[in-house]
Chain A
């Protein structure tokens, strides 16, 4: 049972480049979400999904897109990377409302 899997673990981008952070879970969780973690700012919610085909914005959605075509996968897309998006990104999932939240190991992104 792999849990929540994120790829890649590290990524360096130049300003203006695009990329997709991958997140997959094998626990049949309906709810998936993306957070970014920055020093002094804690964890902030970017986007979340409550099921396939359903997504919504979190606290800091600007500059990021998401889609949820399957229960298992929830990719995060950066269309035009900016240095302000340098951060550690975490994907998390839960089985249903009020269940424990499970995290992936994160992707450390640097934008130069």
Chain B
């Protein structure tokens, strides 16, 4: 059974710091992995999607990597800002229309 784990559960960093969020999954047979951001009381906003054939994707200050063989993905946020404070979730898609989500990492960037 596919399981997705995100560590740490919460993270507090000073503004300007570069940071890495981690996501691990137990079954490497995935089609893609997607990173989301969720603000309190809001829905999920898609940040990046990495197909299984790709190693990384970049959007602005965000870079996501994927290592299927080790069952790991990282989300790198450069020069963090207070506006980056949110919960970040990763989700793997093993096919069959059933996406598996991690519990998320709650990020707080201090001004």
Contact = CB atoms under 8 A, between A and B. Distances in A.
B46 A105 contact: no
A48 B97 contact: yes
A56 B89 CA distance: 25
Contacts of B32: 98
A90 B49 contact: no
Contacts of B101: 42-43
Contacts of B97: 31, 33, 48, 50, 56, 97
Contacts of A92: 44, 99
Interface residues of B, number: 23
A12 interface: no
A45 interface: yes
Nearest to B49: A100
Interface of A: 31, 33, 40, 42-43, 45, 48, 50, 56, 58-59, 90, 92, 97-98, 100-106, 108
Interface of B: 31-32, 34, 36, 41-46, 49, 51, 89, 91, 93, 95, 97-99, 101-104
